[in-house]
Every structure is written in structure tokens, then in C-alpha cells.
Structure 1
Amino acid sequence: MMDDKALGKILVIDDDEDVLFAAKMLLRKHAKEVIIEKNPKKIPFLLNNDTYDVIMLDMNFSRDTTSGKEGFYWLEHILERDANAVVVLITAFGDVEMAVKSLKEGATDFVLKPWQNEKLLATLTSAMKLRKSYEQVDTLRQTNRQLQAAQQDNFGQMIGDSPAMKNVFNIIDKVAGTDANVLILGENGTGKELVAREIHNRSLRKKNIFVNVDMGAITETLFESELFGHKKGAFTDAKDDRVGRFEMANKGSLFLDEIGNLSMPLQSKLLTALQRREVTRIGSNKSIPIDIRLIAATNMPIHDMVHQSGFRQDLLYRINTVEIHLPPLRHRQEDIPTLANFFTETYSKKYQKAGISIDDAGHQKLKAYAWPGNIRELQHAIERAIIMCDNAFLTDQDFFFLQQSIHSIKEEPAATPANFNLDDVEKTVIQQAIDKHSGNISQAAKELGLTRASLYRRLQKYGI
């Protein structure tokens, strides 16, 4: 017994109105939608405006009733438009040679009319299964490419023993096993993608794909194509069907990096997809359900942007069930030696200079530097030093290029406000508390006499 509406959307093209009526009466009980068309010249229009799970195509129209030439012509046209189209040809003439030729030229099956209802339904059910398998293969192929790219881009692991990082690890432990949406806030180079991957790897979705999307690199015109996908011919450069990142991440995790860079119109489109939990490829009217775990990140003061009407508040509510604030490297100085040693070992192996380490002077120089580019800058500094060094140790001289930015936090005089404006005074005191406790929010809040939530609001207010 067939499941209700198991046949999806079916297009029937035949010049015989009685055939069209009979097909619609039979198939409407088993298909989600049945579209009938008498004129084959409307096929280009139909294909440009919608997609179909199965197409039933007459082989002989009024101009030529026996040779099947028109049927072969339109079969070729359909397959040029959609290589994965599932086409079942129908004819009143049981020509075996014609049937074989149609299969060789891309038809899925061949039925005779008048048909037996049960046989036709069985044929269409098999065709529908084939269509689904084509879609799965396309998705798997593009997902595999995404996985390979992610493996090539994935570098390093989460490292840190500082109080600030222990707080981050504690939040990850609590949130990873849930399906809650997570927003990661932090400066460039602080490791937001590594946190996102760690959440995914500890989640119930860890056996499925992690898809990373750099929202800052997507133009307005490519946004929908990249995230939602497109059908072949949907626009000038759409030479093939494309699976969007949402569809690709189905059953897995979708990481939207630099989400604060989205314009208001794109924020609206993103919010709609998240609310409906479905996407529609460009050039198609077929909605595709999605099941994803959303992780987003930004280096921008996103809460301030909401107050300044630069980011939708309803979208912020949607993406930040849990927030994770990543401290800059200058607020976790005690982690610098551990990170530096990790990168030294990694790049020593990469450049076949095994055994290189950093001496005390080298470590002191690294700890004295402000690292405006955070962990990413440290990583590149170690790589450069490994490439250029000729000895078994990296000394302070191997990091000469950091000279201009050397400073010592401990030797800096306490910051004082430029005036007695209360906001300026509060900002200065908060920054001093954060620096004193190496970015540990809990300890800084305790010293300031604030709750963690109150301190977070002030950090957002002052952009600290």
C-alpha cells in the first residue's frame, strides 16, 4: 500500500485532454501536486518556474503521431535543463525499439496508454525513489567537498589554562550536549571557529557535518545562492544545480562566522529561514526542510548594533540562546607559552626542523607583546620564526619583527580617565579589573561588586 502523497510533484504533458484528465484524477490521491499541460511548447516555461519530482511526457503529439520524434526532442530539452530529471515517457504504440532508444537517451521508464492504474503507480513510485536518490547523491557529493575543505582549513585545538579560558571551557561543557543556538563573541584571531568546532564535536550531531560560512565574504548578490542553493538556469552563471549551506548542514551544525557584517535585508532573509526551518533554492518553488544546530560568531559589538538599529533584535534573540565571550590573548598572558610551544612543535614538523624549542628570552618577548591579532598573529609569528631560524632554539632575536609593539602590562601605570565623566570613569575601572584578573569575568565582577550579567552588559555598552 502506497503512502499518501508519496509521489511528490508530478508534471504530465500530453496533447490528449482525456489522458490528462485521467492522469490527474488518479494521481491526485497519491501525489502532493499534479500539474497537467497540453502544449509541449510550454515545457521551457514550466521548467524555468518550478521543479518536478517526476515528469510524464507523451512521445507523440499531433504533428507526428507514430515516430516519437517530438517526444525525443522534448526529452533532450528537459535533460539539458536538469540532468537529474526523472522522465517517464508514455505512448499508445508498443514499439520495443523506441522504448530501448528512449532509455538509452535518458528516460527513466516507458509506459503504454491506456495504462493499468496499479502498474502506472508502481512505475511512478520507482521513478520517485530514483529522483530522491539523485538528490541525495548531489547533496553527498557537495557535502564531501565541503568536508574536505574543512579538513584542510581546520588547524589547531583549544588550548589554555588561564581562568578566562577555564570559564569558556565550562560554558562549552554545559551547552555542547544541547541543541541550543550559540553566539560566540570575540576579537579577530581569538579562536571563535575552534570554539564552534569544539561545540559540534561534543554534541549529539558530531557524526554529521560541520559547515563553516564566512558571512563577511558573501556578497549581497550571492547570499541566497550560497546559503539556500539554486537550480540550474536560475541566473546567468547557474550552470548546475547547487546545494546551499543550510541544506548541506542538515542534521549537523551550521557555523555562521562574522554574522555582524550582514546588511539588514540579508538579516531578514536569514531570520525567515531560521524561523520556518526551511529554505527554497533560487529558481525553485519547492521548500526544503532543514534540521541544523546554529552557531554564530562576530567580532563586532552586536548588542550596541541592536541599539543603533544596525542589527535586528529578533535575529539576535534567535541566535544567542547562549553567549560565549572569548578573551583576547592580552587578557590571558599565562596561556602564551603553552600556545607558543604548541605552534613551535607543529611547524617544526611541518618544515622538517624537528626539535626546535623556545628559550626563556624568547618566551619573555612573546609574553611582553600586546598581540593585537591575538592567537592567529602568534601562530603566524611562530611559523615565520621557524622558517627563518638556523638553530635549535628560538630566542628573542628570532622575534625581532615584534620589537615595535613590545610592552609590559605589569609595568604600565594604572589607566586613569581623561575626565570625570562617570561613563569614562566606569569604563576605566572595568578595564582595570578585567586586566587584573586576566579576562576572568567572574573574578572581575566579584571585585567590582557586580553580577556577571551586569558586567556583561557594561562590557557591551563600552565595547570592552
Structure 2
Amino acid sequence: MKHTGSLLIVDDNPDILIAARLLLKQHYQSVKTTDNPFDIESIINEQRKADQPIDVILLDMNFTQDSISGKEGFYWLKKIIEQDANIVVLLMTAYGDIQLAVDAIKAGASDFIAKPWQNEQLLGAVAAAFSHAKDKQQVGKLTRQKDGLNQVLNNQPFEFLGQSAAMQQVFTTIEKAAQTDANILITGESGTGKELTAHAIHQASMRHNQTFMSLDMGAVAQNLFESELFGHKKGAFTDAKSDLIGKFELAQGGSLFLDELGNLPLEHQAKLLAALQNRKITPVGGSKAVDIDIRLICATNDNLDQAVSEGRFRQDLLYRINTVEIRLPTLRDRSEDIPILADYYLNHFAQKYKRNLTIKTHDMSLLCQYAWPGNVRELAHAIERAVILSDGDNLDVSSVIGSAGTTNHTTTNDNETYDTFDLEILEQRTVRAALTHYQGNVSHAAKALGLTRGAMYRRLEKYGL
């Protein structure tokens, strides 16, 4: 039975190429040969595109320019390592020299073979080289996984809190749904805690000891969608300098959270649906499918039923992702949770900024009366700003919500006061006020409101701002 893997033999002697190929093709599926070392780079690229990357190169030390020093072999060894450090190189020479062997290994070769060789000696050296190549590839994969998983480790979520009846219903649904592998769709306004909900589902599930991986679909460039989700092979496109493991593979065995799913274009929806149906993905530039085992959790602040009726979202994909739907309440619909949340964020940010602060009863009342169009995310940002700006030992929330801190009054920069309970009007004026305050800087205004850039742009378009 032949071993998997690809081998390239480089030697300017045709007899050596024929002898080595006849011997090695009996044991390995792919054995390529060339008598010109200038072909090495193109062969490596061609094999990578065919999803049969070169694992081992058997490289002659001496070509016609210099027949005894081995300088050419060292030169091409360096070029190979620069092109792909995962390739294992075996050097060959007709001039057995211990010092040359030592220098070759120091330069990056895995072994040194003197010609003429004994067949068993060559087979043993090549087998060891393939084993070394497999180890290097595994280390490289683990390194890329580690880099991807740092996203999870460096962005630990806040606690998921609430004692209101609305939140107790959410907790009950999470507890029931988490025990299955059913796909879950989390809906609700921006800032209501959809990512925290996804984390809570993962922690309560049978996959809690595995990876939780998240991706904001609203922040992914359209041309990088497949690469982000499915990964890519080195050389698949101009900027693909190395292999990339996609989010599906990084989440293998665990949970994958796709936020802002309503932003996904129809053409990408079809590719996502195919991956979910087939439970397989194919990296960009690759030809081998990879089996996937993930628990999918999606979130959106869009009305996907309306999006389906408008032709913006595939109905079959909606059926696939929302086996269970969890609707998160707005903060204004669970105002009894505001004191708990405010105290939690105060303690968190007071520790972060080394402050010792308390919230006075009057200021807590202001927080409870405010409409919070940005929901819990806006509350967290407001508390953080107040911790930074407050003087003395008491948290001054008026510094961040000012006279707008009531549900039935809001004030513009022109000091015009409006009496209204219309949340859409309040939101429009709050967005306009934030834009004015930050002199049109959308990123700063979105952050102040506790919104993502995508959510902010949707509101700008909605209100014609």
C-alpha cells in the first residue's frame, strides 16, 4: 500500500532521476522529478493549487556549475525554505563529507544522503523525512489555530445578568435548547446581549469544553467571506501568504457564532447553506473537502421573515438556522434589571480604572428613566465614561446622559425639548445628537451609542442622516 504525500526529486543526472523515481513510486502516491532546480518554485506552486502540496524534496547538492563544493545545493535549500518552511529537504551528493553533512543540517536539511545509495538507506531516510514533514505541518496547524483562538481568549464576555420575568424566560429557553445540538437564532435590537447569549448557550451545552468561535458577518469584506469561514490555501489569491484555517474548522467540536447574519449577501447565503447541509467545507484554493462538526448559533437585529418576503434572505437558510429562536428583550422592556447591570458595570470599570465610586439614588433613578436606545451595550459604555469623568466618590451619570436621561424628554444641541414617548423619534434624535457631538465621525458616534458600525450605518440610512 502506497503512502500518501508528494515527493519531488531534483538532480541534473537523468539516470539518478529514473532510478530514484522507480524505487520511490512503489511506496508513495506522488513522485515528481526535474533536472532543473529553477523549476522548483513553479512545481511547488502547481502542486499546492492541485491540493497535493510537496511534502519532501530530494535535492542534489551539486549541479553543473560547481561539482564538488555543494554551494548550489545550499542555495536551493535556502530558496525552498523561504518559499515553504513546512517542506522537508533531503540533500544528496556523490561526495560523502561529514562536515558538509553537518553544515547541510545546520542550514535546514533534515538529512544527508551519499550517492550511490543503498535502496534501504534511501527508503528509510525518505520515510523519516515524511514523518518529519507531518510533524511540521501539525505544528503549523496548531500555531494557526492558537492564533485564531486568541480571539476567544482575549475577548472574554461580560456576565449575562437579569432578574426580570423577560430575562427569566430567556434563561429557561437557553437551558432547554443548550442540551441539544439544534441550530439557534438569537434576535433582538443591537446591544441587547446577543453574543453574551451565544456564550451562555455554549457554556450550558455538551460542547462547553470545546472552542467557542465568533465572527461578525457585518465586519467581513465580501471578497473575504469564504476565506474567513472556510479558510484558504497558500497562494489561493494574491495576499494568501500562508494557509489560513477558517472559522468552521477552528470551531471543530465546539460552537460557531455568526453575528449580524442579516448582512450576508444572497450569493454567500447559498455557500453557507451548502456547508451546513453537507457538513463539509472546502478551503479556498483547495480541492479536498473537510468534514465539520460544529453547533451553529446565529444572531441578527434584522427581521429575517421580512427579509425573506423582500427577497433579501433565503427561506431555506432561515429554516436551517432557526430550529430554536431566542428573542432578547430591549433594556427599556426590562428596566427593573438596570440597577443590577449598573452595579455590575460600575464594579467592573471601577476596578479597571482603579476608582472607588458609588451610585447615588438620584443617579440610579436617572439611569432607570433613560430610554437606552443602544440597550445594555449603551449602558455599559455610559457607566465606563462616567467612571472616567466623575470627580469625588460618587458616579455622576449626568456627565454622560445629561438632560436626555428621561423616557419622555430629549434635548438636542440647540436646547430644544421634545415631549414624546415615540422610541423611533428618540432614537433618531439620539443618533443625530451623537453625530453632531462627534463632528460627523461615525465610528466615534457608534461607539458612544453602543452600536456596531454596521448597525450605525443602517440607522443613518433609515433616518436619512
Q: Same fold (TM over 0.5)?
A: yes
Mapped contact 2:407–2:421 kept (Cα < 8 A): no
1:41 maps onto 2:38 in alignment: yes
Aligned mates of 1:406, 1:199 — CA distance in 2: 33
Q: Where does residue 111 of structure 2 map in the other structure?
A: 109
Unpaired segments of 5 or more residues in structure 1?
416-464
RMSD in angstroms over aligned alpha carbons?
A: 3.4
How many pairs were matched up?
Answer: 409
Could you say if the C-alpha distance between residues 412 and 167 of structure 1 is closer, same or farther in structure 2, counting changes exceeding 3 Å? farther
Tell me the TM-score normalized by structure 1: 0.75
Given candidates 127, 130, 137, the residue that maps to 1:128 is 130
Shift of 1:7: 4.0
Aligned mates of 2:282, 2:10 — CA distance in 1: 25
Q: Where does residue 254 of structure 2 map in the other structure?
A: 252
Could you say if the C-alpha distance between residues 385 and 131 of structure 1 is closer, same or farther in structure 2, counting changes exceeding 3 Å? same
Shift of 1:146: 3.9
1:403 maps onto 2:400 in alignment: no
Residue identity opposite 2:307 in structure 1: M
Could you say if the C-alpha distance between residues 197 and 123 of structure 1 is closer, same or farther in structure 2, counting changes exceeding 3 Å? farther
Aligned mates of 2:296, 2:26 — CA distance in 1: 37
Question: Map of 1:9-20 to 2, 5 A cutoff?
Answer: 9-15=6-12, 20=17
Aligned mates of 2:256, 2:294 — CA distance in 1: 6
Given candidates 319, 330, 348, the residue that maps to 2:321 is 319
Mapped contact 2:233–2:240 kept (Cα < 8 A): yes
Could you say if the C-alpha distance between residues 402 and 7 of structure 1 is closer, same or farther in structure 2, counting changes exceeding 3 Å? farther
Identity over aligned residues, as a percent? 49
Q: Where does residue 349 of structure 1 map in the other structure?
A: 351
**Range that drifts further, 230-239 or 344-353:** 230-239
Shift of 1:289: 4.6
Given candidates 310, 313, 323, the residue that maps to 2:312 is 310
Aligned mates of 2:311, 2:217 — CA distance in 1: 19
Mapped contact 2:382–2:401 kept (Cα < 8 A): no
Residue identity opposite 2:333 in structure 1: H
Give the 3-state SS of the residue equivalent to 2:126 in structure 1.
Answer: helix
Q: Where does residue 183 of structure 2 map in the other structure?
A: 181
Could you say if the C-alpha distance between residues 225 and 372 of structure 1 is closer, same or farther in structure 2, counting changes exceeding 3 Å? same
Q: Where does residue 170 of structure 2 map in the other structure?
A: 168
Q: Where does residue 85 of structure 1 map in the other structure?
A: 87
Question: Map of 1:433-448 to 2, 5 A cutoff?
Answer: none
Offset from partner CA, 1:290-314 (integer Å, 9 cap, x none):
4433322222222332333322334
Mapped contact 1:225–1:282 kept (Cα < 8 A): yes
Q: Where does residue 55 of structure 2 map in the other structure?
A: 53
Tell me the TM-score normalized by structure 2: 0.75
Question: Map of 1:137-286 to 2, 5 A cutoff?
Answer: 137-285=139-287
Offset from partner CA, 1:159-184 (integer Å, 9 cap, x none):
11222222222222223344333322
Offset from partner CA, 1:286-344 (integer Å, 9 cap, x none):
55554433322222222332333322334334433433222222222222221112112
Residue identity opposite 2:210 in structure 1: N
Residue identity opposite 1:346 in structure 2: H
Aligned mates of 1:380, 1:166 — CA distance in 2: 24
Aligned mates of 1:362, 1:39 — CA distance in 2: 79
Shift of 1:99: 2.6
Aligned mates of 2:270, 2:65 — CA distance in 1: 50
Aligned mates of 1:13, 1:158 — CA distance in 2: 60
Mapped contact 2:386–2:397 kept (Cα < 8 A): no
**Range that drifts further, 278-287 or 175-184:** 278-287
Q: Where does residue 440 of structure 1 map in the other structure?
A: none
Shift of 1:125: 3.5
Aligned mates of 2:182, 2:121 — CA distance in 1: 48
Mapped contact 2:408–2:421 kept (Cα < 8 A): no
Q: Where does residue 374 of structure 1 map in the other structure?
A: 375
Give the 3-state SS of the residue equivalent to 1:159 in structure 2.
Answer: coil
Residue identity opposite 1:382 in structure 2: I
Offset from partner CA, 1:54-95 (integer Å, 9 cap, x none):
233333456665554443333222211112222223445434
Residue identity opposite 1:42 in structure 2: D
Could you say if the C-alpha distance between residues 414 and 301 of structure 1 is closer, same or farther in structure 2, counting changes exceeding 3 Å? closer
Could you say if the C-alpha distance between residues 26 and 303 of structure 1 is closer, same or farther in structure 2, counting changes exceeding 3 Å? farther
